[in-house]
Structure 1
Amino acid sequence: MRELKPDPAQAIRPGGPVAAGADGPEPLWRTAASQRVRDLAWCSLSPPLLSHLPAGYGAGAALAHWPPGAQAAWQRWLERADPATLPETIAELSGHPDPTGNRSLRLGRHAERLLHFALHRAEGIELVAANVPIRRANGHGIQTLGELDVIWRDPASAQTVHWEMAAKFYLMVDGQPGTPPDRRNFVGPNLVDRLGDKLDHIVSRQLPLGRVAEAQAVLTHPIDRSEVYLLGWLFYHDGRLPAGLDALGIAPDHLHGWWSTLDDWAARAQAHPAAANTRWCRLPRADWLSGARVPEAQTESAAVLHTALAQRFADPHQAHSWRREAPVMVCELAPAGPDQPGIWQERSRGFVVPPGWQARAVERATIDRSPPAAGSR
């Protein structure tokens, strides 16, 4: 869509429930029967990863916030919506790909589209534009500077707001001995991305893009605020949250899970008091956003899952290095309730990591930990 001009630290039980919903009704992104509703609710209603931007990011950057009352009104609308009228899941989209090639199935892009849908229908918000490319002519032709994720107006304040959205999943590993936690200790499962790098990029490169002359030339209104809309899950070694998270800006109610080696996960799963009434499933990346709800036929016991993961991590095929080296997200499941026979609902989630992954992750986390030069943000 485009419009152009005419936290205190805490510990959780390893393998235990995620934080959300512990003190009140279970959130819609966990309990809705339709994954369309759950994914849409997660992108618009789940807790943000950050409660504040850490010191050093300057006064020009801020975290996203909805206008007063808009998010609650949107939730009421979504609770009553017919799932058939909502955006399809990635699995549904992949069943009939767009012949023009315009339909991206990347999880981050899908999350953006769900947020666009929510803002388009939310009361008190006027969605102005989405995914607006910003281009600049130079001596070599046309250069694309980047893309503005969301532009919306608040009718009550008459302000135009620019949001940069990211949906991210990071595992926290140890850094150098004796050093406090750092945002770069949070690494993606594929070891390419880090929370610190992503946040630096959004604040220093993406947010200022809305104020360059080329952006102002194509937008209907000048931008009054640029904000970070960062959602996701953070995963901690065997589910233990370290001290010092608040200093990193991590929200006390952020969504979190665990990561473990195969043997540590298996030992904990077998020793769990509720092991006899627990099932497990592997979550494909397309299902990482919201809480899992799985028919019993798609679940497996911890013993069966252990065997499958051991075989995967030991796959000898030369072309299957990605299977040997990539962590696998799994869900611990409990019965959804007597009124939902045969349905199992997520109790916790985490990554089971292959041999050698932790050492590679620690090496990745400790690369270039020096603070940025003054003015680099």
Structure 2
Amino acid sequence: MQSLSISNQFQTPSRTSTSSTSDDASTESDEIPTKPSRVIPTAVSHRNLSVITDHTESVSCIALCGEFIITASHGKEIMVWQQPDFRLFTTFGNGRGSVKALVTLGTKILTAHQDSKIRVWKVSRNLENIFKLVETIPTKKDYFGKFMKNGNYIQTRRNHKRLWIEHTDTISCLTVYKNLIYSGSWDRTIKIWRVNDFKCLESIKAHDDAINAIIVSKGRVFSASADGKIKAWGQKVDGSHFLNGIVEGHKDVSMNAVVVSGDGTVVYGGGSDGYVMGWLVDSWKLVIEVEAHKMSILCMCMKGEILCTGSTDKSIGIWKREVNGLTKVGSMNGHEGPIKCLQVSPSNIGGGFLVYSGSLDKSIRVWWVPNG
């Protein structure tokens, strides 16, 4: 592992971010740009702060938990890194199945796996086992409460039934909002779990193909799928969910990633054709269509007015949100394989913020990106 102290890597005067969430994004335009109109050089460019190469397999997901970075791979290993020197703190989860997604929940970590299970880990006082497995979802209690009733089974394939609370294929994405956990799967369903007891409350047949990404913004759930659609789901008074909106990208193109602007007015989708597309939330009008990469976009993250896109072409694009679209302001290069996951730091540092990228080259890179 190669690492450098953040404070020594760059000396930028500290200042508070002035990124705004103005009403510009909600201004409807009759023109849909098909390419970024220009590339603007930044006064202070982005920096690669650290390269972490301890994973033995492709890095699949990244999450932040206080001062720690948590990363997981297709090799079933989950690693915890301590900032700011990015040293390895501990590892856990070996042998539990390839990890596809992870989120933090207070002192707990939730991991989604290829074996269609969600596992819950909790910080332990036992120094020999810092993160202890405390639950597997669906829980045994949930199983026992439903397995005796025929009405709780659904047909998954010919002559085969499963309980509706079970995912039947890889769980590809997770997100947490208030007291609910949302999981999306290659089985085309979204399942909603209650945080306090991990009971499955609802299962939605959401898409016609694998679900690749899921995010919650302003109470709406957005899911992106290989069927080329992004769907928005609202919540009724009784807690159940309903289809609130639907947008579709280019024909026969998978939607691999989804993010929503901080003000909740625009939803962005990243497609397998390398395009970023954006729609106004509520009217669902297409307002952005930019060829961001020549190859597939696999992941995206957003901080303020800055959007980052990770691609199969091994690069990370940096985009500035404008009134009528996106303007490219930089590109981060260094990975030797496709960019599988991106995570952005919630706080500012030195007039910018940190972006963490994981790649199929088995490495994690830490970048500093200016706000302006």
Q: TM-score, normalised by structure 1?
A: 0.29
Greater fraction of residues in strand: 2
Greater fraction of residues in helix: 1
Give the structure, 1 or 2, with the largest relative contact order (CA under 8 Å, sep 6 or more): 1
Bigger radius of gyration: 1
